[in-house]
């Protein structure tokens, strides 16, 4: 009993003398708690921004040079439409699942087929699942497609069994002023009246070189202007 009293002495005496500071102590504890929860809140917010993923859609249009257009493509149950869609989807899927963002790729669906100078034009929708903080730009997705499709074609035509082959895939730019030609090295080059960027992009604007406006996604049209 006495030991306990002695032991408690210093503690209880200091506690008694600081009775007015009880409020200050209480307040600082409150403030500490407030900041603690604030930090936790910010942390959880950031974590959610990283973890919560949402779907992002990209629409891309390609010209399939060498593959003859047929109106039956408008019927999605026709053999031509089914075969071509499956070829395109599998090539696009392979291109994207082999890339750095494979775990974010969700799906590709063919939205429409059209006729461009007698060849097939296809519009497809890509779906990615990404967090709010890592949204992709159109250029980024086009770059992935270009690299993936180039390696899928391997400089050779892409076969569409029973219906023909695709010599060159022209990836039309989202901006409409530039595009990529992918495929056979000999055929898949930019048309004569366009400018070829280092990354293979074709710019349709007249004289894009050294006009102080970046026209190529890689900036190569403005890169060698001081020389």
Binding site for Ca ion (CB under 5 A): 208, 211, 213, 215, 221
Which of residues 138 and 218 has its CB atom nearest to Ca ion in the complex? 218
- Inter-residue contact 180 to 142 (CB < 8 Å): yes
Structure tokens at 218: 């890689």
Closest approach of Ca ion to the CB of residue 204, in Å? 12
Q: Give the other-Cβ count within 10 Å of 78's Cβ.
A: 14
Helices 79-97/138-153 angle, 10° precision: 110
Token look-up 């439409």 returns 81
Structure tokens at 187: 């055929």
Which of residues 74 and 207 has its CB atom nearest to Ca ion in the complex? 207
Q: Phi and psi of 168, rounded to 5°?
A: -140, 135
Closest approach of Ca ion to the CB of residue 222, in Å? 5
Triad 113, 105, 130: Cα angle to 5°: 120
Structure tokens at 170: 């022209």
Question: Counting beta carbons within 10 angstroms of the beta carbon of residue 201, is it exposed (0 to 12), middle (13 to 18) or buried (19 or more)?
Answer: buried
Which of residues 60 and 221 has its CB atom nearest to Ca ion in the complex? 221
Closest approach of Ca ion to the CB of residue 31, in Å? 56
Closest approach of Ca ion to the CB of residue 213, in Å? 5
Which of residues 155 and 219 has its CB atom nearest to Ca ion in the complex? 219
Which of residues 143 and 215 has its CB atom nearest to Ca ion in the complex? 215
Closest approach of Ca ion to the CB of residue 219, in Å? 9
């Amino acid at each position: 009993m006495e030991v306990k009293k002695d032991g408690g002495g210093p503690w209880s005496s200091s506690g008694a003398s600081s009775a007015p500071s009880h409020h200050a102590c209480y307040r600082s504890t409150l403030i500490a708690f407030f900041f603690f929860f604030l930090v936790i809140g910010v942390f959880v917010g950031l974590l959610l921004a990283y973890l919560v993923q949402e779907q992002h859609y990209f629409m891309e249009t390609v010209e399939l040079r060498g593959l003859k257009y047929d109106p039956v493509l408008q019927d999605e149950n026709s053999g031509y439409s089914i075969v071509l869609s499956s070829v395109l989807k599998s090539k696009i899927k392979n291109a994207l699942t082999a890339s750095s963002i494979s775990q974010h790729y969700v799906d590709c669906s063919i939205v429409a087929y059209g006729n461009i100078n007698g060849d097939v034009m296809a519009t497809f929708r890509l779906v990615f699942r990404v967090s709010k903080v890592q949204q992709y730009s159109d250029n980024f997705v086009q770059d992935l497609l270009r690299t993936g499709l180039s390696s899928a074609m391997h400089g050779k035509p892409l076969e569409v069994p029973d219906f023909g082959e695709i010599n060159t895939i022209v990836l039309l730019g989202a901006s409409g002023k530039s595009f990529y030609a992918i495929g056979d090295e000999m055929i898949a080059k930019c048309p004569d009246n366009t400018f070829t960027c280092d990354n293979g992009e074709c710019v349709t604007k007249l004289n894009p070189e050294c006009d102080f406006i970046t026209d190529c996604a890689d900036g190569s049209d403005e890169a060698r202007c001081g020389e």
